[in-house]
Amino acid sequence: MKISIIGTGYVGLVTGACLADIGNNVFCLDVDPRKIAILKEGGIPIYEPGLADVVQSNVEAGRLEFSTDIEASVAHGEVQFIAVGTPPDEDGSADLQYVLAAARNIGRYMESFKVVVDKSTVPVGTADKVSAVIREELEKRGRTDLGFSVVSNPEFLKEGAAVDDFMRPDRIVIGVADDDNGREALAAMRKLYAPFNRNHERTRVMDVRSAEFAKYAANAMLATRISFMNELANLADRVGADIESVRQGIGSDPRIGYSFLYAGTGYGGSCFPKDIQALTRIARDNGQTLRVLESVEAVNDEQKTVLTDKVFARFGADLSGRSFALWGLAFKPNTDDMREAPSRVVIGALLRAGARIVAHDPIAVTETRRVLALDFADAPVLLDQISYAKDPMTALEGADALIIVTEWKAYHSPNIERLKSTMKSPIVFDGRNLYEPAVMKAGGVTYHGIGRNSV
């Protein structure tokens, strides 16, 4: 099939590359010429394990191309995926300007029936707005004879495992209209996703608004589990319980399961924070208060300060003359995404308290430099207090303590004796509970976890 992907960001590039990999002819459009130039030269503007190989192999096979030519993009694909950004507006609602601009271009240039797929995470009712914009452009051209149907096909990709998630989906949600155009669109989508349904049927067909809602509902549930466990972890520290034992005790219940029950420094990234804000805004616009989700967001904001609260409790509020090693910058492993990353809160608090930081991350240093320049626009001189190490152990040299923010595999099994001999004082603040407190204590390390201080 001929497919057009509008937007070569995280969702668009993964979707385009993976659809090309199963034999489709994919045209990826972006209005950013810099990004397209990088892709044409064989580069990847984001970090995602395995994605570069998929892109390169399909470019070489002639199944995947990149362009800034809007008219050519609309002409190419019988299915038009809108995969542009939906950043949060000032009031927390999703900003649809890029989605509607893409829809407007489709209406402006289409010459045949099009299946228009909302792949971006969008509020309930967006398909109606996309349809209205396309229809308006067709009316301007006097081409109301041209048919189209807007489909909701939300993505459920985890950063760091997106290629595998796309190629081995646990579900494919398709929301379509109950009319002739909708049925034609559904037939096209079933044909497109047929290779993923060979072992068993993964497609869930529903109305458009339910499909739009499903994405927000999924992220809201996962974020709720994280904030719920983080609140329990903080209570565990107070009452003398071990949150890891609690996690095993409740996770073994098949109604609950183990996923997303790890205590830590809070969630970040491009999805959970944005989607929780958008969903609570949708509720307010419809006269409802989602009290649970508002609490989820509040708990998460507070959780990002838990590590620094522990640091201040140990060293005092003035950290002048103190040096800290920081392991992990990205909001999660296997990505360079710094959006809403807890490390930004930790770095901000430490630098403003006078500390020096030597940070390490396998991937995210370049992106960290960019976002910290924005975070410290009011006090750029503070950035002189942070430097970056090429390996984790180098970051420890002369450190008053080690702070772990991201659970990269490289940090899972440190040499405790070397850690002790390299640091000024063997103190670890573990924001991801990577280590067993008893093992660290036996090795002579003062250990502060999240919800594990009783161990």
Active site residues: 271
Report the candidate in 378, 326, 377, 366 with the shortest Cα–Cα distance to residue 350.
Answer: 326
Q: Which tokens sit at 318?
A: 């003035």
Q: What b-and-e string marks burial along 234-243, b requiring 16 or more CB atoms within 10 Å of the CB? A: bebbeeebbb
- Are residues 408 and 332 in contact, defined by beta-carbon separation less than 8 angstroms? no
CA distance 245 to 236: 10
CA geometry: angle 266, 268, 269, nearest 5 deg:
160
- Secondary structure percentages of the chain, helix, strand, coil, to 5: 45, 15, 40
DSSP of 394-452, one letter per residue?
HHTTT-SEEEE-S--GGGSS--HHHHHHHSSS-EEEETT--S-HHHHHHTT-EEE-SS-
Those residues whose C-beta lies under 8 Å from the C-beta of residue 66, and which sit 6 or more positions away, are: 8, 28, 29, 30, 36, 39, 40
CA distance 163 to 51: 6
CA distance 432 to 171: 29
CA distance 354 to 384: 11
CA distance 129 to 376: 38
Report the candidate in 404, 422, 421 with the shortest Cα–Cα distance to residue 413.
Answer: 404
Report the candidate in 325, 399, 320, 316 with the shortest Cα–Cα distance to residue 354.
Answer: 320
Distances (CA, A) of 90 to 87, 277, 302: 10, 10, 20
